[in-house]
Amino acid sequence: MALMEAVLQFASQHSASRFSRCARLWCLCLASATALTCTAAPATAERRVALVIGNSNYQHSTPLKNPRNDASDIAAALTRLGFAVNVGLDLDKAGMDAQLRNFSGKLNGADLALFFYAGHALQVSGTNYLIPVDSRLEAETDIEHDAISLHHVLRHMERQALNNLILLDACRDNPFATRLRRLSRSIAVGEGLATAAGQSVDLLIGFSTNPGAVAADGEGRNSPYAEALLRHMGTPGDEVITTLRRVRNDVYGATSGRQAPWDHNSLRHPIYFNPGRVAMPSAATARPRVVSFKQKWPDGRFTLGSFKRIDAERWTELVQTSNERRAVTYDFRQISASPARVLIHDAHRSTGAMWVRIEIAEKRVYWSSDGQRTWHYLYDVTDVD
């Protein structure tokens, strides 16, 4: 505003000049532009984070040609599209664990979290595992120690981010699966990857081919799946589901029908690789949106989870204790919410109605089963968005 006043004052002082008409016109145009600039509200972009991993140079198996290229090119494309990207290439087990730990630290409250993996993976007894480059998998017990469970990745993403996208170009013909089948009859090692779904909504998992099938590594720089993603993910205004449909058609055509990308989709809001505009938050903007928590029990077990705002009236809890194989979810109705406290109610829990009170400043979560009259300490709050 001060700049606009100075411009107008300059115009009035030079009104007698032979260039006054031009000068005044220029000053008035500048003043108008300045006024628009000063009064325009800044756009608030959504926070989008990504972890991209490509494993090619396997130490105890035949190397793969393209995953390293696929990951490098996908990471570069996502960076251009405004994602904060972490990329890992040819990672051993310790390296994958470190990248996932770092990624988990950036997830809380992210509007969109994306995980892309290219490399070897396999399904064992219906569970999908991602294979680091130093894995041997010479015994059936090795799978729990030398590979990364997709469920482990899912648990962290669902618990903390508002919308999640997982893309797996990992259904290649796998010598590790052949080796495990030969070594053990007590575990079921399937072809390709198993179908997968999360524990909550606002999630899309995309596979480079349909469950139980094998995907091509590709003859050029990229796999057919990565090549199609790179071709279409930058299209402005296309929702992710539209992009993946284009990818499916391209891959199906390029492989003469031998490979058909597949996805599991529980998204409730439109999400985009390239919104074609300043990306605005797709979920509720009221705070808090995500409250993460933990608890360590006297018997050594620990619990991790989060409360996530679904809309103006609903919250969901995703929680898992260390002795449980899978996380569980609960639905709550909001009674009241402020930046300092959230009060929610689950009237349909099988063990009886439950009230939950989240104290933001105190960093504690309490529960009650008697209409809020008696409160019991339950969890410690670890992060709030």
The CA–CA distances, whole Å, from 199 to 114, 127, 159, 275, 330 equal 17, 14, 10, 27, 10
User: pTM (2 decimals)?
Assistant: 0.74
Per-residue pLDDT tens digits for 201-211: 889 999 998 87
| pLDDT of 289 | 87
**Of the CATH numbers 2.40.128, 2.60.40, 2.30.30, 2.40.160, which one belongs to the domain with range 290-384?**
2.40.128
CATH architecture of 48-265: 3-Layer(aba) Sandwich (3.40)
pLDDT for the residue numbered 376? 92
Domain boundaries, the chain: 2-39, 48-265, 290-384
* Token pair belonging to 139: 């015994």
Bigger pLDDT: 310 vs 189: 310
pLDDT at 31 over 60: no
User: In this model, does residue 190 exceed pLDDT 70?
Assistant: no
DSSP 258-282: S---EEEE---S--BS--SSPPPPS
Alpha carbons 22 and 62: distance in angstroms, whole number: 74
Question: 183: burial class by Cβ within 10 Å (0-12, 13-18, 19+)?
Answer: middle
Q: Closest by alpha carbon to 85, among 97, 68, 67, 73? A: 73
What pLDDT is attached to residue 171? 67
Confidence at residue 187, expressed as pLDDT on a 0 to 100 scale? 59
Task: Tell me the residue type at 297.
Answer: W
Q: What is the pLDDT of residues 55-90, one digit of tens each?
A: 999 998 888 999 999 999 999 999 999 999 999 999
How far, in Å, CA of 80 to CA of 306, rounded?
Answer: 31
Higher pLDDT, 280 or 268: 268
Q: Do domains 48-265 and 290-384 have the same CATH topology?
A: no
The reported pLDDT for the residue numbered 234 is 94
CB-based contact 265:245 (threshold 8 Å): no
Residue 18: what pLDDT? 42
- 367-371 average pLDDT score: 87
**Dihedral of the CA atoms 214, 120, 191, 154 (nearest 10)?**
-110
Cis status of the peptide bond prior to 288, with omega within 30 of 0: yes
d(CA 179, CA 190): 12
Cβ–Cβ under 8 Å, residues 149 and 85: no
Q: pLDDT tens digits, residue range 93-108?
A: 999 999 999 999 999 8
Cα separation, 354 vs 371, whole angstroms: 8
Confidence of residue 50 (pLDDT cuts 50, 70, 90): very high
- DSSP label of 362: T
Confidence of residue 141 (pLDDT cuts 50, 70, 90): confident
Please say if the pLDDT value at position 41 is more than 50: no
Closest CA to 50 of 216, 145, 161, 213: 161
Q: Are 203 and 309 within 8 A, CB to CB?
A: no
pLDDT, residue 15, reads 44
Tell me, what's the pLDDT at 45? 65
Is the confidence at residue 188, as pLDDT, over 90?
A: no
| Position 205, amino acid | I
Nearest to 84 by CA among 279, 216, 306, 221: 279
Rounded to a whole number of angstroms, the distance between the first and last alpha carbons of the chain is: 34
Structure tokens given for 156: 């962290």
Separation CA 60–CA 134 (nearest Å): 7
Q: Would you state the pLDDT for residue 42? A: 31
Q: How confident is the model at residue 326 (pLDDT cuts 50, 70, 90)?
A: confident
Q: Confidence class of residue 252 from pLDDT cuts 50, 70 and 90?
A: very high
Better-predicted residue by pLDDT, 277 or 322? 322
DSSP class per residue in 71-104: HHHHHHHHHHTT-EEEEEES--HHHHHHHHHHHH
